[in-house]
Structure 1
Amino acid sequence: MGERGADAFPKSVRLRKRFEFLRLLNSPHKFATRGFLVVWLENGGTQARLGATVSKKVGCAVIRNRVKRYIRESFRQMRFPLPGVDINVVARRDAAALDFSAVQRELEKAFRHIGTSPCSSALRSS
C-alpha cells in the first residue's frame, strides 16, 4: 500500500488546511528558482512541513500531479536538515518541462537557502 518508516511522507509533515497556506501568503521569506517559488515561515515545531501549489496554468491534471509527486519526493529526501518551518512550493509554468533530477536540483537550491537564511539561524539558536 503506502510507504512506511522513516522514508514515509506522513500527514504530520504536510500542510493540509487552507489557513496553513494563507498564513504563508504574506511571508517575507521567499526564494525563486527556475520553475518554482518557495515560501517559508517558522512553524514553532521541530520538523519542516510541506505544501505544494500547482495551478492549472502549469498544465493538465497528469502534469500537475507529476510535478506534485516530484516536489514531495524531493522534500522527503531532503527534509531532515531543514529547520522547523512551513514551506509552500508554488510551481510555475516552467516546472512542467522539468524532469525529476531538475526539480530536485532547483528545490535543493531553495532548501539550502532556507537553512542559511536569517529566519533559520534564529530558529537554531532557540
Structure 2
Amino acid sequence: MRRRAEFLKLFDSPNKISAKGFLIVWQMNALNTPRLGITVSKKVGCAVVRNRIKRSTREVFRMNRHQLPLVDLNVIARRESALMDFASIKWELEKAFRHIGASTCSKELFSS
C-alpha cells in the first residue's frame, strides 16, 4: 500500500491486533494478494532506527505472506519496537499474523 487514501480507509477498520511494540490494523481486500503498509513515526526514533524497523517488518511479511488471508494491513510501530532486535520483531509479528482473519473469540484468547 502506498496511497494515503488506502491508509485512511484502514484507519476506520474495527479489526486491530495489538502486539508488543506494534499495532496491526487490517481489513479484507478484493485483490488476489495481501498488501502491507508500515507506519513508523519520528517519535519511535531517528531515521536509522525507523528504517531498520521497516526493513524488519517487510522481511517478516515476505516470509509469512503465503499464510495470510487476502487483507490490507498496516503495521504501526510503537516506541517499544525501537529496542527490539529482528528475532523479537519476527516473533511478535508472526504471533499477530496468525490471528488475522480469525474469529472474535480467538482474538479474545490472544489478548489475554
Alignment TM-score > 0.5, same fold? yes
Percent sequence identity over matched residues? 59
Q: How does 1:1-126 map to 2 (within 5 A)?
A: 15-117=1-103
AA partner of residue 101 (structure 1): A
Q: Where do 5+ consecutive residues of structure 1 fail to align?
A: 1-14, 119-126
Secondary structure in 2 aligned to 1:75?
Answer: helix
AA partner of residue 78 (structure 1): N
Distance 2:49 2:103 in 1: 31
Contact 1:33 1:110 in 2 (8 A): yes
* Deviation beyond 3 Å, 4+ runs, structure 1: none
Deviation at 1:116, TM superposition (A): 2.2
Contact 1:46 1:83 in 2 (8 A): no
**Deviations, residues 54-97 of structure 1 (Å, cap 9, x unaligned):** 00010000000000000000000001111110000000000000
Aligned alpha-carbon RMSD (Å):
0.9
Q: Where do 5+ consecutive residues of structure 2 fail to align?
A: 105-112
AA partner of residue 108 (structure 1): E
Alignment size in residue pairs: 104
Deviation at 1:109, TM superposition (A): 1.0
Distance 1:115 1:77 in 2: 18
